[in-house]
Structure 1
Amino acid sequence: MADRPVLVVGSRNVKKRDELVELLAPHGVEVRTLADFTGLDHEVEEDGDTFEHNARKKASEYARATGHWTLADDSGLCVQALGGEPGVASAHYAGEHGADAANNALVLEKLADTPPERRSAHYVAVLALADPTGEVRAVERGECHGRITAAPRGENGFGYDPLFEVREYHRTFGQMGPAVKRAISHRSRATRAMLPRVVAMVTR
């Protein structure tokens, strides 16, 4: 049997990786993560001022480092009343990378005097696909719109999920099961848009 084509998910975020792996695995492509490459300690500095810049940079650098097609993403929360913050700084908004509780607390602190009708927000995810030479061949963007609640609700998800309420569902991502979130999330929407391009390019 011929080797299956390989796609590397360019992330060390376990929960983010698992979401992408589950979405991509059924399409006949062997999905690997950065952890599958022994000795790969390269970390891409996410120093761009847009989600697309960071996604492109990660996809390109990790593709060259692994020698495989690589799909990388950059994502975050944009709160209108905060001028679009946390934005590209979402993962380290309170200072320490990945400190979800501190990041959530800072958002709530900054919105303390903001009434419910002015707490609109949206999640953004940008996916970039690079070939083994590091050339970015496709970019897709997904968004999910909602609002920020007055306090965290729910234990599911990660990041700002306990604060992000999808109005139509009257529930936060933190209160939703993974199947519902997969159906409507920003990352899922970007991934669904990207899937045909991944299959067409990676498997040919």
Structure 2
Amino acid sequence: MQRIVVASKNNHKIAEFQAILSPWKLDATGLPQDVPESPENGSSFEANAIEKAVFYSSFVDGWVLADDSGLCVDALAGRPGIFSARYAGVHGDDAANRQKLLADLREVPDAARTASFACAIAVFHRGLGQGLVVRSDVLGSILTEEHGEGGFGYDPLFYHPESGKTFSELSAEQKNRLSHRAKAVERLMAQWKGEASYASLSGE
């Protein structure tokens, strides 16, 4: 089984990638705890994913997979977008981020609360000088209150019409088939044969 390092120290995210990647016979592991944090200077999900994949490839051997994911709300002109993890000011404070989102949408009617979850994934192998970036989006809407106990981040507020549930109400198996992250992995595997050109990483 081929090993791939997921460029994250978030146990929730690593577990999701482990489950999503297992059908492709990829052994996904997280970053060592002593690896420094990658800068995120990009203006798009794709640019940030590329930056992280290339940065962490200096600290680990073999293939690195980095993703940049976020929630894009139409009524907020695409916010929180690439700032989703630190929307309320502190990186990774999921509860505060959800409360800020609800406050910002307080006066927005249900019909205008459309949104999408976006996920860009970049893979890079420094030794081979090869990489690839893909993106996938899943459409939904933002509820006025939280529903469900599973998932993380904005999952309790993100209603997924195809399933009739929030991402928090889905089982782990369902989410790993339907999420933006799962769809991006499907797109990645459709294109990535281990021989992608480094030119794929030349722009945002």
TM > 0.5: yes
> What are the Cα deviations for residues 44-84 of structure 1, in whole angstroms up to 9, with x where unaligned?
02222110111000101111211221011000000000010
TM-score, length of structure 2 as denominator length = 0.89
Distance 1:16 1:105 in 2: 21
Contact 1:9–1:70 (8 Å) recurs in 2? yes
- The one-letter amino acid of 1:49's match is S
Distance 2:35 2:110 in 1: 44
> What are the Cα deviations for residues 10-59 of structure 1, in whole angstroms up to 9, with x where unaligned?
11111111111112234333322203xxx742210222211011100010
2:170 is the alignment partner of 1:176: yes
Q: What is residue 39 of structure 2 aligned with on the other side?
A: 45
- The one-letter amino acid of 1:74's match is D
Which ranges of 4 or more aligned residues in structure 1 deviate by more than 2 Å? 25-32, 132-136, 195-202
- The one-letter amino acid of 1:173's match is F
Pair 162,145 (structure 1): closer, same or farther in 2 beyond 3 Å: same
Pair 150,29 (structure 1): closer, same or farther in 2 beyond 3 Å: closer
Pair 15,199 (structure 1): closer, same or farther in 2 beyond 3 Å: farther
Provide structure 2 residue ranges, at least 5 long, that are not aligned to the other structure.
197-204
TM-score, length of structure 1 as denominator length = 0.89
Provide structure 1 residue ranges, at least 5 long, that are not aligned to the other structure.
none
Contact 1:24–1:195 (8 Å) recurs in 2? no
> What's the CA shift for 1:156?
0.7
Taking every aligned residue pair, what percent have the same amino acid on both sides? 37
Secondary structure in structure 1 of the residue aligned to 2:57:
helix
Contact 2:139–2:160 (8 Å) recurs in 1? yes
- The one-letter amino acid of 1:21's match is Q
- The one-letter amino acid of 2:40's match is E
**103, 110, 134: which one aligns with 1:116:** 110
What is the count of residue pairs matched by the alignment? 196
**27, 51, 57: which one aligns with 1:57:** 51
Q: What is residue 126 of structure 1 aligned with on the other side?
A: 120
Distance 2:158 2:107 in 1: 18
Q: What is residue 18 of structure 1 aligned with on the other side?
A: 15
